[in-house]
Amino acid sequence: MKKYNVGILGATGAVGREMMKVLEERSFPIGELRLLASPRSVGKKIEFMGKEIEVKLAEPNAFEGLDFVLGAASNAVAKELAPHIVKAGAKFIDNSSAFRMCDDVPLVVPEINAEDAKNSKGIISNPNCSTIITLVAVNAINKLSKIKGMIASTYQATSGAGAEGPVELENQMKAIVNGGEIENKVFQYQIAQNLIPQIGSFNDDGYTTEEMKMQNEGRKIMHLPDLKVTCTCVRVPVVRSHSISVTVITEDKLSVEAVKEAIAKEKGCKLYDDVANKVYPMPLVTSDQDLVFVGRIRQDLVNEGAIALWCCGDQVRKGAATNAIQIMEVLVEE
């Protein structure tokens, strides 16, 4: 079996480390794994498949000899180093938002538009985590009848803000129990025992940058240029896994039974819907695995013919690390 040389840009962060874990779990055929990070992480050693790998500096000459580079760094780092990655002949699969809406950069969820990944000029973008989870959940519905619009509310875990998010939540919970001082550094308000209805900055229409990703990225991924999405993104005091409530408006009226049957067969999904026995997706059920759990499927009572559902998925894995590696697997298969 041919082996591939893979680099991870931003290897010491939460997503970078998860990429290493997923690569090992999925037995990806790796020749060399090159871990790249900022100067403060250079020299650190991280274990991978029983061996310790030393972290090297992420700089323009660091990519020679690599077949793929998995991006888990900031927008600024991705933009700075992408030309050097492409020049070195590697495919850059980037988890930042730097290139998502560029016309010549595919934006890929392999269960939905794997073919797009094969038409890149060297850069392929990983979508927003909530967008990935939501679109995997509704893709089966779109196959039954074209989706015209969605009304979504996301309930996003603290780890979506980086490794320090859950730490701040835990520290605040301890402070509440022990009567200590509550500090906000990662989030703009206290997150413990609270919800924050803002992720990203607001635009002139009152929507945040995070909320508009669902519509803008959804149009590109699903090849639905007229898709309309009203989205509200909320940070919740959960450690891991994002949850989304979605009303899906389709061209044709669909039965709940047909939708459940389609979702049960859909790749990347797990139908988890038995309300009589209190079976429905939750963050604790969906963490540390790669399927999107879908449940609470029912007819919408306001939009005639629309379907309402609830889904959950691990945003560090399927919403980031695993999706990137699945894209790499598509390219390897080709």
Q: Active-site positions?
A: 129, 242
Written as one letter, the residue type at 208 is T
Nearest to 238 by CA among 187, 278, 273, 272: 187
Domains of the chain (ranges; CATH) run 4-127+320-333 (3.40.50.720), 131-315 (3.30.360.10)
State the CB neighbour count (10 A cutoff) for residue 91. 22
Q: 246-256: per-residue pLDDT in tens?
A: 999 999 999 99
CA atoms within 13 A on the CB side of 324: 34
Q: Is the pTM of this model over 0.75?
A: yes
Token pair for residue 332? 């390897």
CA 186 to CA 190: how far, in whole Å?
Answer: 9
SS3 at position 135:
helix
Q: 85-143: per-residue pLDDT in tens?
A: 999 999 999 999 999 999 999 999 999 999 999 999 999 999 999 999 999 999 999 99
Q: 159-179: per-residue pLDDT in tens?
A: 999 889 999 999 999 999 999
Asked if 166 and 159 count as a contact pair (C-beta separation under 8 A), the reply is: yes
Count, residues in the chain: 334
CA 12 to CA 207: how far, in whole Å?
Answer: 32
Asked if 247 and 307 count as a contact pair (C-beta separation under 8 A), the reply is: yes
Token pair for residue 26? 């999925």
CA 43 to chain CA centroid, Å, is 29
